[in-house]
Homo-oligomer: A and B are copies of this chain.
Amino acid sequence: MPRRTDVASLVAQAREGQARAVARLISLVEDASPVLREVMAALAPHTGQAYVVGLTGPPGVGKSTSTSALVSAYRAAGKRVGVLAVDPSSPFSGGALLGDRIRMQEHATDPDVFIRSMASRGHLGGLAWATPQALRVLDAAGCDVILVETVGVGQSEIEVASAADTTVVLMAPGMGDGIQAAKAGILEIGDVYVVNKADRDGAQTTARELNHMLSLGPTRGPDSWRPPIVKTVASRGEGLEDVVEALEKHRAWMTANGTLAARRQARVRGEVEAIALAALYARMGDVAAGRRADELAARVLDGGLDPYAAADELIAGLAGS
């Protein structure tokens, strides 16, 4: 654990864009370090500038390749870029699997690109717990854009959407059938849709089906955002400038009508609530560590108490602690 002085200098170094300091601070977040509060307090005045883009989609659509190509596109525009690759499907690993990250190698020596893989370790709230705080580190480090890529599926998609200013949903030819899309819930979270591998057979069909399914969604007013569908071949860097353009349009639209401020407000409120909930749970953990939770569980097992009545008793104990 770094001493008090170390936190201050780490934050100062991160603000200067030193990659080691950024990495160290994210590690402190990931490990839920005892100095985490101190880190967050030190970062607070320097946050709020970064534009956060979430990238999600089913396995096999080329998320890592697309993320890397998007980094290149933003770098070409002179932006400082952060990448957070989250793998919520790896709760046991104690560290992200880095196999896919090889695609990021081309950016490894760029001092204006920060890349970080995070394994979400089954903390309460999963991705929601650690991601906003890691974003805060990258934000304070001066990133203009932060790309959050999820390696997982399912629930993580919603979590990415809730963490991002703009959510990009990636598809690929042959993955556009209705059940698949409905199952992933992706039609409800995308601000921008990308059909990657657009040089393959079926890309046009996928885009058309996607367009059709999006048209079946909630009726949109004249001022509402109609998610564009962009075609890319990320492995060759094709179409990424169109993605950046779609993102900037969405950002401008959100800024103009207050959506961006509202989303960020909701996000931070959720973040604050999640931290408060975890703190309450930790308090409950203290109670549970004692005999009472076990006694209550034993009474439920015996059929003498139902779990709700037991929870009431547990809360009564917590309130008194």
Please list the residues of chain A having a beta carbon within 8 angstroms of any beta carbon in chain B.
Answer: 36-37, 40-41, 43-48, 88-93, 97, 99, 122, 126, 132-133, 136, 152-156, 158, 179, 182-185, 188, 264-266, 268-269, 271-273, 275-277, 279-281, 284, 288, 293-294, 296-298, 300-312, 314-315, 318-319
Contact = CB atoms under 8 A, between A and B. Distances in A.
Copies of this polypeptide in the complex = 2
B183 A97 contact: yes
B307 A272 contact: yes
Given A153-B154, A158-B91, A304 B44 contact: yes
Nearest to A304: B44
Contacts of A279: 311-312, 315
Given A279-B311, A294-B269, A306 B184 contact: no
16 contacts: A45-B304, A88-B154, A89-B154, A91-B185, A92-B182, A154-B154, A265-B298, A266-B297, A268-B307, A271-B300, A272-B311, A273-B284, A273-B311, A275-B308, A277-B284, A319-B319
Contacts of A280: 277, 280, 284, 315, 318
Contact of A303 (B46, B99, B284): B46
Nearest to A188: B92
Contacts of A136: 307
A93 B185 contact: yes
3 tightest CB-CB pairs across the interface, nearest first? A89-B154, A92-B185, A275-B311
A307 B93 CA distance: 28
A308 B36 contact: yes
B269 A91 contact: no
Contacts of A310: 272, 275
Contacts of A271: 300, 307
A312 B300 CA distance: 33
Nearest to A308: B37
A188 B91 CA distance: 11
A269 B293 contact: yes
Nearest to A298: B265
Contacts of A309: 37, 41
A153 B152 CA distance: 9
Given A276-B314, A277-B280, A264 B93 contact: no
Given A48-B303, A314-B273, A315-B280, A40 B91 contact: no
